[in-house]
Amino acid sequence: MELKKSDDANLEKKRIPLIIIGILFSTALVLVAFEWKAYEVEISELGMLDYDLIEEEIIPISQQQPPPPPPPPAPTTVIEIVEDEKEIEEELVIEDMEVTEDTEIEFIEEAVEEVDEEQIFTIVEQMPSFPGGDAALMKYLGSSIKYPAIAKDAGIQGTVFVTFVVDEKGDVKDVKVLRSLGGGTDEEAIRVVRNMPKWTPGKQRGKPVKVQYNLPIRFTLR
């Protein structure tokens, strides 16, 4: 009698699907094996403390030296006592003076400083002044100065500083240039100052004196 297998127990029919499943499973294992990463665990040294045993330094105890001996006492001053019987060589004599109506009193007059008229002052109690004041002086300079042709052609502008002496009578003397500008401006400034009218002289202790005076004269092209 021939044995027959049932369809559920027959494995021949399921062989091909099983082979396919096995191939897929093995392929999946291979892929998982390649994708798997190994991680190394590193132990961090953070938080680990190194303890060094430091030997305690022994500080020697300082010994206090005894204080130096006190200095010897200063020698005592010997006071010489003069006896009453001993005579003093020099005596101060005070004269007894009585002041009466007939007593003459001698007055000593203080020397009054005399003003030397020949001395030239730079600063005095009352400085010399142009007749009419500073405004009249500026008007005189503006109307009297003639701009030199050389300075005008060269375009020279600036200030010429002139110094002169106003004597006891108010006359202008010893005109000089302190700071030059050139181009004929120095000569023009001297000419205008020499032609000035008389000034009011300066005074020292109420007396007219000679005074040195400095005057800036400006040349400007218009």
Residue ranges and CATH numbers for the domains of the chain are 120-219 (3.30.2420.10)
Instruction: Return the pLDDT at 51.
Output: 43
Q: 196: buried, middle or exposed (CB in 10 Å: 19+, 13-18, 0-12)?
A: buried
pLDDT at 18: 77
Q: What kind and span of H or E run contains 32?
A: helix 15-35
From residue 177, give the alpha-carbon distance in Å to each of 144, 159, 163, 174, 216: 18, 11, 6, 10, 10
> Which residue bears the tokens 């009578």?
169
Model pLDDT, residue 103:
60
pLDDT at 222 (0 to 100): 80
Q: What's the Cα-to-Cα distance from 114 to each of 8, 111, 118, 201, 206, rounded to whole Å?
A: 161, 9, 12, 18, 12
Q: Along the 222 residues of the chain, how does pLDDT read in single tens digits?
A: 555 555 555 656 667 777 888 888 888 887 777 766 544 444 444 444 444 544 555 555 545 566 777 777 766 655 555 555 555 455 555 555 565 666 665 555 555 555 555 789 999 999 999 999 999 999 999 999 999 999 999 999 999 999 999 999 999 999 999 999 999 999 999 999 999 999 999 999 999 999 999 999 999 988
> CA-to-CA distance for 27 and 100, rounded, in angstroms?
156
Q: How many CB atoms lie within 10 A of CB 131?
A: 13
CA distance 143 to 162: 18
pTM: 0.48
Q: Give me the count of residues in the chain.
A: 222
What whole-number distance in Å separates Cα of residue 179 and Cα of residue 162? 7
pLDDT of residue 15: 72
Question: Distance between CA 131 and CA 133 in Å, rounded?
Answer: 6
Angle (CA) 109 111 112, round 5°: 115
pLDDT of residue 39: 47
